[in-house]
Amino acid sequence: MSGGVDSSVAAALLKRAGFDVIGVFMKFWKEGGHGENRCCSSESEKRARKVAKILKISFYVLNFEKEFKKRIVDYFLKENKKGLTPNPCVVCNKEIKFGLLLEKALKMNADYVATGHYARSVEARRQQVYKLLKGKDKDKDQSYFLWMLNQKQLKHILFPVRDYSRVEVEKMAKKFRLPFSGVKKSQEICFIPKTVEDFLKRYLKSKTGRIITKDSKTIGKHEGLWFYTIGQRKGIGLPGGPYYVLDKDLEKNLLIVTKNEKDLYKKELTAKKVNWVSGKKPKLPLKITAKIRYRHQAAAAVITKILNTGSYILKFVRPQRAITPGQSVVFYQGQKLLGGGIIC
């Protein structure tokens, strides 16, 4: 229970359904050991405790600060230092929420871990496999962040708000008399107090280099490749724009930009560290739809495996804008999430 409306309503729905519910609040790393982490602030903990009291359920606080710092924050900084644009929420779901938390829950003799994610998990008994599906609310669907999950985890996961829209969840919060009037929605990276750029500047040293056009003409100076992402337009600091970040050359420390937005569109990407949710690789080549970022519209593509490697090639029917190394590419067939990988 994060102290947010989704996980609180999830707990209320389970209680109403007759489950023996235990509320768990996770403490994550806070910068410098103090300050506020948006998803586990003192205010969030107070709300979660209040909800547990209203629902008359037990409430525990688990301290995962060290593990969160090592597995999520350090990963985020390391990948950025490589010039990549990582997605820490995806890794947090695998390593913390459905990793460490699930391990703790099973040791406490719990049968399931339930969260407020807008996604669906169904057991296909004939195939003896758990399927991961999109949530009912198309605008709020969070299945994209769950592609790293496996069958052992899905066996013990419940998504109580799976069949509801965000509007319906907010109405139910009022019905259950839960304390969420005026609480802001949190959608950014939870451990970053302000902006990603400010956070990176505190932990990664500036390493200036040249900004060049795609025909190798030098037109400016950058402050460090990790402060830029593919497709970025604002904050480049060049006169006569707009310019867009087209690519990054880590070996030569070059930021490559373009004035032509059409240059950002590509029809192909390579994905590594691919996970198939079913645990079995499908027959390839395979027609799918793929999302290259959370708010991206899923696009038609064909996926094939590169021989003698663990990587896969995706070829899109239509070019996609700003395919970004380090981000997750997630594979779907209709409502079903097949798996995903890291864009490289």
Q: Contacts from 174-181 at CB under 8 Å and sequence distance 24+?
A: 176/9, 176/12, 176/54, 176/55, 177/54, 178/5, 178/8, 178/9, 178/12, 178/51, 178/54, 179/47, 179/50, 179/51, 179/54, 180/5, 180/8, 180/47
Tell me how crowded residue 170 is: count the other CB atoms within 10 A of its CB. 16
- Please choose, from the candidates 9, 46, 48, 45, the residue with its C-alpha nearest in 3D space to the C-alpha of residue 28: 45
Note whether 25 and 1 are within 8 A (CB): yes
Note whether 149 and 102 are within 8 A (CB): no
- Please choose, from the candidates 230, 258, 279, 301, the residue with its C-alpha nearest in 3D space to the C-alpha of residue 130: 279
DSSP state of 181: T
- Indicate if 40 belongs to the active site: no
Note whether 43 and 183 are within 8 A (CB): no
- Indicate if 190 belongs to the active site: yes
Taking the C-alpha atoms of residue 248 and residue 237, their distance in angstroms, rounded to an integer, is 16
Which positions ≥6 away from 34 have C-beta within 8 Å?
none
Strands 265-276 and 254-258: unpaired
Residue entry with tokens 């802001």: 184
Considering 39, 40, 89, 92, which one is annotated as catalytic?
A: 92
Omega of the bond leading into 242 within 30 degrees of 0 (cis): yes
Considering 39, 40, 89, 190, which one is annotated as catalytic?
A: 190
Taking the C-alpha atoms of residue 12 and residue 4, their distance in angstroms, rounded to an integer, is 13
Annotated catalytic sites, by residue? 92, 190
